[in-house]
Amino acid sequence: MRRFGVLLLTLLGLATAVAAPAAADEPVIAARPPMGISWSRGWNQCPRIDDAKVRAAVDMLVGSGLKDAGYTYVNIAGCWAAKTRAADGRLQPDTAKYPDLPGLIAYVHAHGLRFGLHSGTGALVCGSAMPGSRDHEELDAQTFADWGVDYLEYDTCGGENGVAASVRKMSDALKATGRPILLAMNDTMANNYRQWEWAPGAGAHTWQLTSDLPEPFPIVMTKIDEQVPLAGHTGPGGWSDPGYLNFSFLDLPVRRAEFSLWALLNAPLMPNESFPLDTIANRDVIAVDQDWSGTPGRKVRDLSDAEIWAKPMSDGSVAVLLLNRGSVARTIPFDLAESGIAAASAYRVRNLWTGAELTSTGTLRASVPALSGVFLRAWPGQPSPAEPLVTLGVELPEGFLAGQPVSGTVTLTNDGDTPITDARYTITVPSGWQLDGPAQVDVPRVSPGSTVTQEITLRPVAAPAAKVPVAVEGSYTSESGPRTAAGSAEMPLVTAPGSGTTYLSTRPWLYSENGLGPVERGTVANGRAMSVGGVAFPPNSGIGVHAPSVIRLYLGGACKSFTTQFGVDDAAGPQATTAFRVLGDGRELFATGVVQRGAKPQKVTIPVTGVQQLAIAVDDGGDGSAGEYADWIAPYVSC
């Protein structure tokens, strides 16, 4: 536990806002992350947006309660203007879509909302649908102010060179009008990536960190992985924007997991095109996004496809997301002590999506389905009534072999401070498998802070599928009355490497754990090429990690040797020290002393005859793990 506590404290210490504070007599623009609805990201939406649709959106915001929840901006896309400027050089609306733009803006304001437009640093905006503001910054800024515009999204298409100066020019022009207009940078050009380094100093109030995100959650998460080290570049007056929330075709659990992440990151909440009330209207989650305690949320643990994110709140509570980004259901526990929350004999816990009020004595735990998350908020102190946090879970091996029986456990855990009684649950296994023993289990009592475990064995009766799911569902009685619980887990079929040479970066892993961000195949430190001691390696050269890290692989006794180069990556901090270890079936086969940054890569070949599971680990060298990136270069087994 110590190593993760060190990591969290180190990360939180880095989280300092970079936006310059306003003068005492000036209002802070974007004092909190802006919220609204936006068609301004994605020029391909232009043909479908017009005056009538914007007015309908205004009515929806007011009538649905989203306005009262904080969604106050209405932003339209980068094709609102005519393709040519007026004779006096001013931008003019496309009258076919917006016959009375000032009247539309007045309609927005009359409903207590704010209005946003789009422009850019180039002669044309992204998509070339209308003029940009190059060489017209002062004129355009005054035009926007005269119309009553409150928000300007500003892209960099056609204006990549000197983009910071171009943005500063517009920022100064907006300030000169005397109207508070939020300047939102949309800079996703490859040449200008790393917006966090220049956008705050250029006067931007938000800056989008990625190009328009696709919808599949695994791809969204790869973009979030790149942003893990950037959370310190955010705060009142200047917010990092992970990318727009595109909910059009996402299932409810995925939608809620993504929205939870945005809230933890204090990201602007600007859903694009689709506005599902079952997600974006949740005021408990919005409260996390709008609360600034001095630091945004951080990934605390990375346990294979399970992740734990935590965000300290200004009232002393902590928001925790138990996130399962994998295709296998799993039970995820978290010790609240690792979040830095004040010590207490009991904690009030709220499930931010179900609204359930619970009690825990110090552990948050949930059975989390694939591609989803459980979002909790914990306060020191006893809630009333004291409903205990109870989890029904399944623990299975990291993989199974064709034709072999599988052992696992079903766990009923009471993390609260009052007992539960009269529990009964049913175990369900898939076709092709037989459960030894009873499928229905009775548990008379589970004391506070206790787990009752039922051992299970599954025997194959048919050819196995690629994954084996096991589900449990049941009921119990707490002091508040009857309750239900459910959980599930899955395990994949595993096979040994084939004969010859097999590179481990191409193999599925039984398990991976990493100190910061995910374990990376072929890169390190969020997509960088590997380099050790000044020796550069081509792309896809191995496996990049951050200490402390461990990766487990199945060999099945089929291999003779394991060969790799290793070392501290040049992306690590100047004082980085690590130690490398290789284990076979839990027995240490190889270990280094402390390896420092700058040392040349070393190569080793280790006998692994008869080894069923191979583990490769990187420890932090005993001095903390901040910035300790390390590489396994071209790791392979000979079988």
Q: Which residues contact 619 (CB under 8 A, 6 or more apart)?
A: 547, 548, 578, 579, 580, 581
What burial class does residue 600 get, using C-beta atoms within 10 Å of its C-beta: 0-12 exposed, 13-18 middle, 19+ buried? exposed
CA-CA-CA-CA torsion sign (474, 476, 480, 482): positive
| Backbone φ, ψ for residue 466 (5° rounding) | -70, -25
Active site residue 155: yes
Q: Smallest Cα–Cα separation from 384: which of 288, 478, 480?
A: 480
Total Cβ atoms within 10 A of residue 392: 24
List for the chain the helix, strand, coil content (%; round to 5).
Answer: 20, 35, 45
Active site residue 50: no
- What does the alpha-carbon distance between residue 389 and residue 350 come to, in Å, rounded to a whole number? 10
Total Cβ atoms within 10 A of residue 106: 14
Total Cβ atoms within 10 A of residue 218: 13
Pair 230, 196: CB distance under 8 Å: yes
Token pair recorded at residue 303: 């346990």
Q: Smallest Cα–Cα separation from 457: which of 491, 431, 433, 487?
A: 433
Pair 469, 497: CB distance under 8 Å: no
DSSP for 259-270 reads: HHHHHHTT--B-
- What does the alpha-carbon distance between residue 304 and residue 509 come to, in Å, rounded to a whole number? 9
Q: Element (H or E) spanning 502, and its range?
A: strand 501-503
- What does the alpha-carbon distance between residue 417 and residue 379 come to, in Å, rounded to a whole number? 15
Q: Smallest Cα–Cα separation from 358: which of 338, 378, 342, 341?
A: 378
Q: List the catalytic residue out of 51, 150, 155, 570.
A: 155
Catalytic center residues: 155, 212
